[in-house]
Chains A and B, each alone.
Chain A
Amino acid sequence: AQSVTQLDSQVPVFEEAPVELRCNYSSSVSVYLFWYVQYPNQGLQLLLKYLSGSTLVESINGFEAEFNKSQTSFHLRKPSVHISDTAEYFCAVSGMFSGGYNKLIFGAGTRLAVHP
Chain B
Amino acid sequence: EPEVTQTPSHQVTQMGQEVILRCVPISNHLYFYWYRQILGQKVEFLVSFYNNEISEKSEIFDDQFSVERPDGSNFTLKIRSTKLEDSAMYFCASSAGLAGRVTDTQYFGPGTRLTVL
- A residues whose Cβ falls under 8 Å from a Cβ of B: 4, 32, 36, 41-46, 49, 51, 90, 92, 94-96, 98-109
Q: Which residues of A contact B31 (CB under 8 A)?
A: 101-102
CB distance from B84 to the nearest CB of A (A): 22
Contacts from B to A (Cβ < 8 Å): 3-4, 6, 31, 33, 35, 41-45, 48, 50, 55-56, 58, 91, 93, 95, 101-111
Could you tell me if B110 and A103 are in contact, using CB atoms closer than 8 angstroms? no
Which one, A92, A102, A105, contacts B102 given CB within 8 A?
A102
B112 to chain A, nearest CB (A): 11
Distance between Cα atoms of A7 and B104 in the complex (Å): 26
Q: Which residue of B lies closest to A98 (CB)?
A: B56
| Number of A-B pairs, beta carbon distance below 8 Å | 69
Given contacts A96-B102, A102-B31, A107-B42, contact A43 B56 (CB under 8 A): no
Residues B110 and A101 in contact, CB atoms below 8 Å apart:
no
Among A49, A99, A102, the one with the most B-chain Cβ atoms within 10 Å of its Cβ is A102
Q: Decide: A43 near B91, CB < 8 A? Known: A103-B48, A106-B44.
A: yes
> Chain B nearest CB: distance from A3 CB in Å?
9
Q: Could you pull out 17 A-B pairs where Cβ atoms are within 8 angstroms?
A: A32-B102, A32-B103, A42-B110, A43-B91, A43-B107, A43-B110, A44-B91, A44-B93, A95-B102, A96-B102, A101-B31, A101-B56, A101-B102, A102-B101, A102-B106, A104-B45, A109-B42
> A99 and B56: CB pair below 8 A?
yes
